[in-house]
Each structure stands twice: as structure tokens, then as C-alpha cells.
Chains A and B, each alone.
Chain A
Amino acid sequence: MTREQFRPADHPNEHFILTTVVGSYPKPKWLDRARGLRDDPEADFGEAEWAEATDDAARLITTEHERAGLDVVCDGEMRRNEMVEYFAERIPGYEFNGPVKVWGHNYFDKPSVTREVEYGERWLGAEYEFASEVAARPVKVPITGPYTLASWSFNEAYEDDAALAYALADLVAREVEELVAAGARYVQIDEPALATTPDDHAIVGECLERIAADVPDDVRLGLHVCYGDYSRIYPEMLEFPVDEFDLELANGDYEQLDVFTEHEFTKDLALGVTDVHVGDVESVEEIEANVRKGLDVVPPERLTVSPDCGLKLLPREVAYGKMANMVAAARAVERDLDAGAIEGGEPASAD
């Protein structure tokens, strides 16, 4: 069981609903200013100053996650810029040619794969090692999945996007191996691109096979898929070699929950219980009701709760409020389960 290792020693309830985040978190404003200085050739601000600034931000946000009461924390991806660029900058074989439009005046530095991709320097070693040194709680490592890294790039070098995705999967597998060697016990593969092209779920499955092949049993492997038509990938996705699926369901007001009850959910569910597209902090009661919806799908010992998606576009105090209320809601549901006030309180069998 990969999950019990994350139960804090001082956990107050018998039931344990694991609370965590998807990954990204609003950056402190001073870190954005520091990035501006780093990119300004006129400024007296070099790599050493930048390293200090990112360490400070990582420490600040990791402890902010702990203060919110999360069982598993991360550093809010303070060292990363965007979810594809950050990795593409570290993978030989990628090059950047300038911004492309996403919508309106919002652009993305979509990189091009111009030759065979290779594993060069480590991608997340510093991030994981620093955060786990700072944190008293276990640290989760979110990592952009190979299918998304392939789909959100221009492919100049491989026969098709599947071939590129498989090549990238081998690199992700290598990075996961490094992270595990460094002590990581909770790795989450992020595949937002799967939500837009669900017909490619078999390609994602093959990528995950390559990544999971050498991951030890005591390492928890999760998959995050953003909001989309989940009926087009479920129940097929249950075949993926991961322990847990992290799904964005609060955003659609749980209209798709039925999808997951029609066919038994045989993996752990990390349920999105606060909506990251809403600028208000939901009340503890409101989030509690969302947490309980997860119990319609899996028994409590297979339920994780997190915000729907990364929190980075929210104001920082709102992001914090959502995390803190989410933890309070999970603890309240655990108490009700302990008291037998909720059906499903008894550990359920997998059938």
C-alpha cells in the first residue's frame, strides 16, 4: 500500500483522507520582480541571486502548504515558469523560436523538437531535494507528462506525435528514477493535453507503462488529467499503471461523477474539491459536501482530496484559503466517518 506512509504521526482521526495539491501555486510578487531582474542584462542580478530568490520562495510556499495543514506538500513550483517550457529548456533536442497565441493576447513559448530528444541535466533534483529538506511533511513531485510535452510542442523530428511522446516517456522515466533515488515517494504525472484529445488515451497508456516499469511498489504514482469529457477515457484509463487519478470535477459541479460510478473505480481517486476558476474561497461546509461526493466513488481509504488543478492563477490569499478550508473539510468528514455518521465509514471491500 503506497498510501499509509503519508499519514502524519499526529493525525487526529482514525480515518485518513489524504490532502494534497496538484502543484502550482501563486508566486510571491517579489519573485516575479526577481525574474525580471534576472532577465534584464542591465541589472546587477545574476544566477547566484536568482538561486537565492527561488530558494526563499520555495521555502516560503512549502511552509505555507504545511501551515494550511496538507498531509503532502510541494513548493508550489516556484522554480518553474510554465509546464512545458520549464522541461523543454532542460531537454537537449528542443529549441525556442518565439511566442505563439493561445487566446487574445495570451501567448506561450511553444518549443520545437528539432532533433532526437535526450536526457541532459536533471530536471527537478534541486526542487525536490530542497523542498524535502525544508518540509516536515512528505513532498509530492508533479511532472509534466510526455504526451503533453509532445502535444504542446512543434514536432519537427519524429515521424508522429506518438513517436515523440514515447521518446519523451523514456526521459521522464529516467527523471522519475532519479527522483526516487533521491527519496521521492509520491510522483504525479500531469497530462492536461489528454483532456483535449481523449482519443489518444492508448498513447498515454503506453507512455505510462514506460514510466512505471521501474518504479518501486512503495512509490505512489498519480496521474492528473484536467477538465474534459472523462467518459471518453473512462473506464479505459483504469488500465494505466498508476495508483491514483487526480481529476477536476468541482469545476463542472460534479456533473460527470456518474461516469465514475457506472463502472467500478478500481484505483485511488484524488478528487478536485475546490474550483480553481472561482476567485472566492468556498466555505468548509461547501467543500465538505464535495469531499463526501468522493465517497460515492471510492471508500475513504482510497480517497485523496486536492484542489481541481494548479492554484497559480489565483491571488495568493485565495489559494491559501482554499487549501486551509479543504483540509478542515477533510478532517470534518473523517470525524463523521469515525463516528459512523456517514455511510461507507466501514472500510469497504474493493468490489
Chain B
Amino acid sequence: MTHLLASTPGLFPLPDWAKNRLGDLKGHQKEGLVHGEESEAVAGVYGEARAEVIERQREAGLDRIVEGQLRWDDMLAHPLCIHDAVETRGIVRYYDNNNFYREPVVVDELGFDGDVAAELDAASELLADADAGGGDAEGHSDGGDADDGTASRGDGALQAVLPGPYSLAELATDEHYGDAAAFLDAVGDFLADEVKAFPDVETLFLSEPSLVVDPPGAGADERASAAIDRVAGATDADVVCQTYWGALDERVHAHLLDADVDAVGYDLLTEHEASMYNINEYGTKEDIALGVVDGQNTLIEEPETIAERVAWVRENSAAAFDTIHATPNTGLFYLPVGKFEAKLDALGEAVALQGVRA
């Protein structure tokens, strides 16, 4: 029996009303961006928007609900950009997208912060309230058997999302630790401490696009895997290491499998053949995450198309999986809000079809 879950790697777009209100409150320059201690008015807007996106995921019938990271002005770099030991400098390009973030420069020892834990506490409370109130979610929580042995657990549980240590270190500049290995270790320890402060979450997604687009060389690949292992070891939740924007180098993939994560995420949108090759040539974990919804294109996939992409992996994989996390390949802030919501609905429906036709 394979459990099929509808989930996302977070980084949601702000609702349009919140874009406008926050633009008015925070301005449009980098000085106004989130630094960890927002005014009550700003925090209030984020609180309302958070409640909205949580409710929206429940409506779409997703099995894992994320907080949405609406405060993350700097996308994946956020946990460092708001840290006391970090100075933010110029606006720099976010991978090869037409998006920019403040360059975080680490100038002191990275101690515990708690910013992400606070967001998750707020999300956790909202979910508890919604559950207590019965909500109007249509989570497919029956877990019934499907013809092909696929079931949906559909409990709408909380999922945390963080940048993986390798990507976060790659997005930042170090002016304190002095060498790349020590800096990666420090970022790994920092994230592990943040994770320890999280409320109960069912799943932790670690986004690691840099493992693909800026792969670590010999030696660094092993250290990246060890850092991921350390973050994963800080929680009892299922940990997914999500990779995207292509397929992992074989060597990096092999090392990543040494980390004690429950699943590796593969981007089926950009390089499905190479991803499949990695899965079959090196094996993968017992669980798997599949990027089967395009997070960067407004074209809304039919639920059947999404289901077929999942089925394609199952058909072509030598192994069976305990759990499949069906997800967009990337975060979703690239999309206009209406299209983002339509993607959530399509994903929820694809998984609800259950008969992911094998």
C-alpha cells in the first residue's frame, strides 16, 4: 500500500489585498523589509493572510498544510536575513530568476533565533482552531483503499518548510566563520536548533535547489549531506529533502541518500528522465516526493495530468514507495494568486482521484 499525499514546498504568494496593505505599511525599498520585529499593524496583516492561506489549503483538500512563509521577503534566505548576526546588503538575484533578495552577510556567530518556530506556532493554533470548529475543509481523510493499492491519508496536518543548509549557505555570504566547511556546519547547526523549537509538525520539507543548480564538489557533497542529516535529526517529523530546477548530479544524489531523511524530492517538470535515472540507478528512500505541478507557469494542469505524472514514476521505478508526496516542483510565489489557488485545487483533486492510474 502506498500513501499518496498532496503537499507543497511553501513560499506562497501574498493575497493581493495583503500585497497592497503591506506595500503601504512597509514601503517599496529594502529598508522596509521584514527584519524580525514588525509593527503590530504589519504583524496583523500577516496574521490575517496566514489564516487565509491555511484555510485555502484545507479547501483544496491538501494533506499537508504549510504556514505559507508569507513574511519571507527574501524567499529561502529569510531565516538568515532577519537574524541578529547577519547584515543585509545589496539586492541580489535569486538563482537565475527575475527575482531578488537582500544579500545576507553573516558577521557573527549564528545563535538560536526562533523566528520560524513562532510562525509555525501561529499556524498550529490556526489549524487546531479550525479542527475544533469542524472547519469546512474537504480533506479526504478516509484513507480508503484504491484499486491500485494507493490511499490518501488526508489528515491536513502541519508541515514545516525550511531552506536546506546547503542552499541557505550558498545564498549567503560568510564574513565570520572563514571557510566554507565551517560555515556550512554552522548553518546546519543553526537550522537544527531552529527545528528543535518547532511545535509538533507531521513533515519537514528542506528545500535544496542549490544542490542541483550549484552542486557541491568532491568533499563538499559529503558535508552537505551531513549537514542535512543534522537538521533532519533534530525532529521526529518525516523529513523530505526537496530538490528542483533539474536533476541532481549522480554523485551528489548518492551522497544525499546517506542523510537520514525519509524522502528525497525530485523535479519531474524540468528533468524527468534524469531524475528517473537517479532513482533507478542509485535507489532512493522508502518515501519519495515528486514535483509534478509546475510552480512557475500559470498553465493549470488537469488533475488527470498530475495523476499521470505520478503514475509514470511508479510505472518506471524499480521500487515501490511507502509514501508519495505529490507537490509543485518549486515554491509558488512566482504565480499570480488566482493561478496559485487553482494549482492547489488541481493538486488536491489529483490526489483525491486516488486512482492515480498505475
Contact check, B337 vs A98: say whether CB atoms are below 8 A apart.
yes
A interface secondary structure, majority: mixed
> Which A80-120 residues sit within 8 Å CB-CB of chain B?
97-108, 110, 112
User: Quick check: which of A64-72, A151-159, A203-211, A338-346 contacts chain B, the rest being far away?
Assistant: A151-159
Contact check, A103 vs B91: say whether CB atoms are below 8 A apart.
yes
Contact check, B28 vs A104: say whether CB atoms are below 8 A apart.
yes
Contact check, A100 vs B13: say whether CB atoms are below 8 A apart.
yes
Output the least CB separation between A40 and chain B (Å).
Answer: 15
Q: Which residues of B does A touch, CB under 8 Å?
A: 13-14, 16, 19, 22-23, 26-30, 32-33, 73, 91, 93, 96, 98-101, 296-299, 333-339
Question: How far is it, in angstroms, between the C-alpha of A3 and the C-alpha of B299 when the chains are bound?
Answer: 45
Over the window 107-148 of chain A, the binary record of Cβ atoms lying under 8 Å from chain B Cβ atoms (1 yes, 0 no) is: 110101000000000000000000000000000000000000
Contact check, A152 vs B98: say whether CB atoms are below 8 A apart.
yes
Question: How far is it, in angstroms, between the C-alpha of A152 and the C-alpha of B96 when the chains are bound?
Answer: 12
* A197: Cβ under 8 A from any B Cβ: yes
Contact check, B100 vs A105: say whether CB atoms are below 8 A apart.
no
Contact check, B98 vs A102: say whether CB atoms are below 8 A apart.
yes
15 new A-B contacts at CB < 8 Å, known A105-B26, A105-B27, A154-B297: A97-B336, A98-B336, A98-B337, A98-B339, A100-B334, A100-B335, A102-B98, A104-B30, A104-B33, A105-B22, A105-B28, A105-B32, A152-B98, A154-B298, A155-B297
Contact check, B93 vs A196: say whether CB atoms are below 8 A apart.
yes
Q: Please, could you name 27 A-B residue pairs with CB atoms under 8 Å apart, sorted by A?
A: A97-B336, A98-B16, A98-B337, A98-B339, A99-B19, A99-B336, A101-B14, A103-B91, A103-B100, A103-B101, A104-B26, A104-B28, A104-B30, A104-B32, A105-B27, A107-B19, A108-B98, A110-B336, A112-B298, A152-B98, A154-B297, A154-B298, A156-B298, A156-B299, A193-B98, A196-B96, A197-B96
Interface centre among B99, B296, B298, by most chain A C-beta atoms within 10 angstroms, is B298
Beyond A103-B91, A154-B297, is A98–B338 a contact (Cβ under 8 Å)? yes
Q: Which residues of B contact A112 (CB under 8 A)?
A: 298-299
Q: When A and B form their complex, which 7 residue pairs have the shortest distance between CB atoms, in order from nearest?
A: A98-B336, A103-B100, A156-B299, A97-B336, A105-B23, A154-B298, A112-B298
Output the least CB separation between B24 and chain A (Å).
Answer: 9
Residue in chain A with minimal CB distance to B23: A105
